[in-house]
Amino acid sequence: MMDDYNLPVWIYLAVVTVFVGGAMKKILASHLSAAPPLVAWLGATVLVERLWALCLPALLLLTLLALACCLYSARTGPPPATLSTHGKAILITGCDSGFGNAAAKHLDALGFEVFATVLDLSGDGARELQRTCSTRLTLLQVDITQPQQVHQALLDTRAKLGLRGLWGLVNNAGVCVNFGDAELSLMSNFRGCMEVNFFGTLSITKSFLPLLRQSKGRVVTISSPAGDQPFPCLAAYGASKAALNLFMNTLRHELEPWGVRVSTILPSSYKTGRCSNQSYWEQQHKQLLQSLPPALLEDYGEDYMAETKELFHSYARQANPDLSPVTDAIVQALLSPQPQARYFAGPGVGLMYFIHSYCPFSISNRFLQKLFMKKKLMPRALRKQSGLDLNLSLHNNNNNNNNNNEEEKEEKHK
């Protein structure tokens, strides 16, 4: 019987093997803690089950299992040798705080010549970098949304590098200026996110590409999983990061012939910038309430919007204060002989992408909602509609009961 279906079986086997092998390779490269062996063996179990159902030889099953073990061993083996930092110059944007500030200090300590852009040369972040870093570090005042400031940064960097090229550009500067449903988000929020996260990063990347091509260097961009997956209440931020992700993916293909490698880092939740500044978000919330049309505010309700604000505050309080997974990923992208196209920085990100890539949409969507915004309130208009429907249902039930009672009485009289 097997001989009659030999060719289709082997085609099916090839497809299943490629699918499960790709899934295992992806999850093993996703920097999870205890999840890699668990998910890898889960994939191997599924594969074995399918092969067993096809009655294929046990020797082939053992061979495939051995291959899975080899993949895992290769993943957990000694790390490959990294490139030297000697003579390598890096420019990092957005170093006033957060990832940029931490990366500037870390890369300076490793021996890089660091050009760190800040919005305010007299701010706390700039003063901290001047105080803690070596004389190799150069501070540049740059708002990446201002072309003249970007151009001046290019001239200053060129003047200091001389005939040398720039080894790495770390695109870190970014903003998240909205929280709430897309319908409630101001158009200025969408434009603000796009102006900084996409157009600003595009501007500085294009400006510094000649220096990067000269040294066959690296472009490393801090993006967000919100650019690939539909996080509730982050439409403006996610849309800007989606544009950024697509641009970087395209750039990676275009710069490959030049020897320039492009990597994107996708962090989990960390305490950076304004995310833990409660007064800032209170001010944003108050401004939003004042700017919404009365009819829209009535449909959603102030209590619904207040719950969203509190959920964001709670999420920010639980964020990880240790930024080292992101700075370590930046170092890997800059110094690895074969840098990855994507780095998942922080617990849970790789698992999230695995579920998003390989599970049905209904499962990945439910996982995302449970992971991020666990809202309990519905918009006010839906609550009213639900209450009206419930009242109508109760009214109809009462009418039916009364009609039944009348019919029973009539039956008794008969």
199: which DSSP letter?
A: I
50 shares a domain with 97: no
123 shares a domain with 11: no
Q: Which are the contacts of 129, defined by CB distance < 8 A and separation ≥ 6?
A: 95, 101, 104, 105, 116, 118, 137, 139
The pLDDT assigned to 392 comes to 52
CA distances from 149 to 113, 117, 181, 240, 330 (A): 21, 10, 34, 22, 25
Residue 351 lies in a domain: no
Give me the number of domains the chain comprises. Answer: 3
131 shares a domain with 39: no
304 shares a domain with 325: no
| Whether residue 5 lies in the annotated active site | no
Residue 366 lies in a domain: no
Q: Which residue has the higher pLDDT, 99 or 70?
A: 99
Evaluate whether 241 touches 118 at the Cβ level (below 8 Å). no
- Residues of the chain with pLDDT > 90, as a percent, come to 48
- pLDDT of 116-175, one tens digit each? 999 999 999 999 999 999 999 999 999 999 999 999 999 999 999 999 999 999 999 998
303 shares a domain with 255: no
Amino acid at 141: Q
Lowest-pLDDT range of 71-75, 109-113, 258-262, 282-286: 71-75
The pLDDT assigned to 34 comes to 44
Q: Which residue has the higher pLDDT, 85 or 385?
A: 85
Q: Label residues 380-392 b or e (16+ Cβ within 10 Å = b).
A: beeeeeeeeeeee
The pLDDT assigned to 20 comes to 59
Residue 397 lies in a domain: no
The pLDDT assigned to 32 comes to 45
Cα separation, 223 vs 163, whole angstroms? 31
119 shares a domain with 96: yes
Evaluate whether 221 touches 248 at the Cβ level (below 8 Å). yes
Query: Confidence band (pLDDT; 50, 70, 90) for 272?
Result: confident
The pLDDT assigned to 33 comes to 43
Asked if pLDDT for residue 53 goes beyond 70, the answer is: no
Asked if pLDDT for residue 106 goes beyond 70, the answer is: yes
- pLDDT of 165-192, one tens digit each? 999 999 999 988 767 899 998 899 999 9
The pLDDT assigned to 2 comes to 45
The pLDDT assigned to 384 comes to 85
Q: Give me the catalytic one of 5, 72, 237, 270.
A: 237
Question: What 3-state class would DSSP assign to 184?
Answer: helix
Query: Confidence band (pLDDT; 50, 70, 90) for 250?
Result: very high
Query: Any bridge partners for residue 138, and if so which?
Result: 115
Cα separation, 39 vs 199, whole angstroms? 38
308 shares a domain with 257: no
Lowest-pLDDT range of 203-212, 237-246, 271-280, 308-317: 271-280
What's the whole-number mean pLDDT along residues 351-375? 76
- pLDDT of 65-74, one tens digit each? 666 666 655 5
98 shares a domain with 144: yes
Mean pLDDT of the chain: 81
263 shares a domain with 332: yes
What's the whole-number mean pLDDT along residues 4-16? 54
Query: Confidence band (pLDDT; 50, 70, 90) for 377?
Result: confident
Q: By residue range, what is the domain housing residue 236?
A: 89-272+321-346
Residue 192 lies in a domain: yes
Cα separation, 278 vs 286, whole angstroms? 12
State pTM to two decimals: 0.77
